[in-house]
Structure 1
Amino acid sequence: MAVKRRYESVHRQEQARQTRQAILRAAEALFVDPGYAATPLTAIAARAGVAIQTVYKTFGSKQALLSELVDVTVAGDDEPVALPDRQFVAEIRALTGARARLARYAQHLTETHARQAQVMLALAAAATADSEAAAIWRKNLEDRRNGMAMFAADLATTGELRPEHTVDTAADVLWLAMDVRNYDWLVRQRGWPPVRFQRWYVDTVAAALLVASP
C-alpha cells in the first residue's frame, strides 16, 4: 500500500505540474495578445483546458499569475534557485578578466531576452494603464537593478573599472545596457543576429566601464 500511495502522490504532483505549465503557457499567449487588461482568467482557463476554479486554486489571482509568469520566463524554469546560486553566475565568477565576465553575461542575457522579450514588453505596456501590472513591473526593475549591483561588485574585484566609476554607477550602466528594449530594437526589429547583439553589449559596456587595455 505504501508503494501505491507514493506512486499516486508522484502522479498527482506530475499532473499538477503539467496543469500549472498549461496555465502559464495560456497566460503568456493571451497577456501578449490581446494583452493583460483585456484577458480575463476565464479566457486563460479556456485556452489551458482547465476549469476556472483550477486557475484560482493554482495561482490565486490574475496578478499572482502574471507575477509567476514573469519569474518563470526570466529564470527559464520554475526551480526555487536564487539568482546568486544559478550556474551562469558561478561561471561568470570563475572567469578572471572583466571583459570575459561581460562576454559570459552577454551570452546569458541574449538567451534570456530571446525567451522573455514578448512577455516583458507586454508587461511594460500593461504597466502604463494597470496598477497591478505596474507593481510587478516596478518589482522587476528593482530585481534587475539589484542583480546588476551584484554584477558590478564582481566586476570591481577585477580592478578594471575606470576610476570615475563606483560600484553604484557601474550598476547603473549595466542596468541600462541589459534592458530588454535594446534587444527588442536591435534583434527583433532590426534583425541583428544574436551573436552581433552579444558583441555590441560587450563592446558598449566595456567602453563605458573598463580601463583601456594596454
Structure 2
Amino acid sequence: MSTKRAYVSPLREQAAARTRALILEQAELLFAERGYGRVTVADIAEAAGVASKTVFASVGSKSDILDRIVDKAVVGSGYEQAVARILDVRTPDGVLQALARGTRAGNESQFKAHEAIRKALPVHENGEALWERATADYRKALHAVARHFLEVGAPALRYSPEETADLLWFWFGPTGWRTLVVENGWSWDRAEEVLYRTAASALA
C-alpha cells in the first residue's frame, strides 16, 4: 500500500526562513535596546510585522528566541576562522596582533547580540548557564591561542599557560571590549590598538 508524501514547497520554506530571520533580527534589536525583561512576544511580533502566534510557531517562546540569538552570535563571530588564522602566525607579537584584530571583528559584528545577552542575564531564569553557553567556545579559543603563543617562542614565562589564557580573556574577552567601547566611548580602532599593546607589554 503506497503512502502519499507531504509536498514541501521551496517557496514556502524560503518565506518561512525569511520570517524566522526577521523575527530573530527584531528580537535581538529589542533585547539589546530595552533589555530582555522589558520585551514581550507581542512586542517582537509587532516589530516583525507578524502575529504573536507566528512568532511562537516559527521560533518558539521568548527564551527559545534568546537561545537562537546566542547560537547565531557564536557562529557569526567567526571565531573558528579567526583562530585558524592566528594559529598560522609564527611570532608572539604577531599572535597578539591577530588576536586583537580577530576578537575586535567578532565583538563588533555581534555587538547587538552581545548586548541582548548581557541585558538578559539579571532576569533570565538561568542566566549563569546562558552566559556559559554564550562564551564557552570563546574561552576555548583563547586557551588554544595561549598555548600557541607560548609554543611560538613567547618570552620567559611570567604566567602559567592557564594564567596566560585567563589574561587573554581579561583583555580580549567581551567584557574588555565593552568596557572601553560602550562604557567609555572609545572607538573600536583605538580599543584594538591599546588592548594589543597592553597585552604585548604585559606578556613581553
Q: Which bracket does the TM-score occupy, shorter chain normalised?
A: 0.7 to 0.9
CA distance in 1, matches of 2:128, 2:39: 16
Q: Secondary structure at the match of 2:167?
A: helix
Q: What amino acid sits opposite 1:88 in the alignment?
A: A
Q: CA deviation at 1:30?
A: 1.3
Q: 1:161/1:122 Cα in 2 relative to 1: closer, same or farther (>3 Å)?
A: farther
CA deviation profile, 1:2-59 (whole Å, cap 9, x unmatched): xxx89x42x2332222112101111112112321112121221221122323322332
The answer for unaligned runs of 5 or more in structure 2 is 1-6
CA distance in 1, matches of 2:150, 2:59: 40
RCO higher in 1 or 2 (8 Å CA, sep ≥ 6)?
2
Q: What amino acid sits opposite 1:193 in the alignment?
A: S
CA deviation profile, 1:89-116 (whole Å, cap 9, x unmatched): 2221111112212212211211222233
Q: 1:23/1:133 Cα in 2 relative to 1: closer, same or farther (>3 Å)?
A: farther
CA distance in 1, matches of 2:13, 2:95: 39
CA distance in 2, matches of 1:109, 1:45: 33
Report the counterpart of residue 76 of structure 1 in structure 2: 76
Q: 1:15/1:198 Cα in 2 relative to 1: closer, same or farther (>3 Å)?
A: same
List 4+ stretches of structure 1 deviating above 4 A: none
Q: What amino acid sits opposite 1:21 in the alignment?
A: A
Is it true that 1:198 corresponds to 2:192 in the alignment? yes
Q: CA deviation at 1:202?
A: 1.3
1:1-214 correspondence to structure 2 within 5 Å: 8-9=9-10, 11-76=11-76, 83=79, 86-160=80-154, 162-209=156-203, 212=204
CA distance in 2, matches of 1:154, 1:62: 40
Q: Secondary structure at the match of 2:131?
A: helix
Q: When the two structures are superposed, what TM-score results if normalisation uses the length of structure 2? A: 0.82
Please say if residues 45 and 55 of structure 2, whose CA atoms lie closer than 8 Å, have aligned partners that are also in contact: yes
Q: 1:51/1:204 Cα in 2 relative to 1: closer, same or farther (>3 Å)?
A: same
Instruction: State the number of aligned residues.
Output: 198
Q: 1:108/1:43 Cα in 2 relative to 1: closer, same or farther (>3 Å)?
A: same
Please say if residues 45 and 52 of structure 2, whose CA atoms lie closer than 8 Å, have aligned partners that are also in contact: yes
The answer for unaligned runs of 5 or more in structure 1 is none
Q: CA deviation at 1:189?
A: 4.2
Q: 1:96/1:155 Cα in 2 relative to 1: closer, same or farther (>3 Å)?
A: same
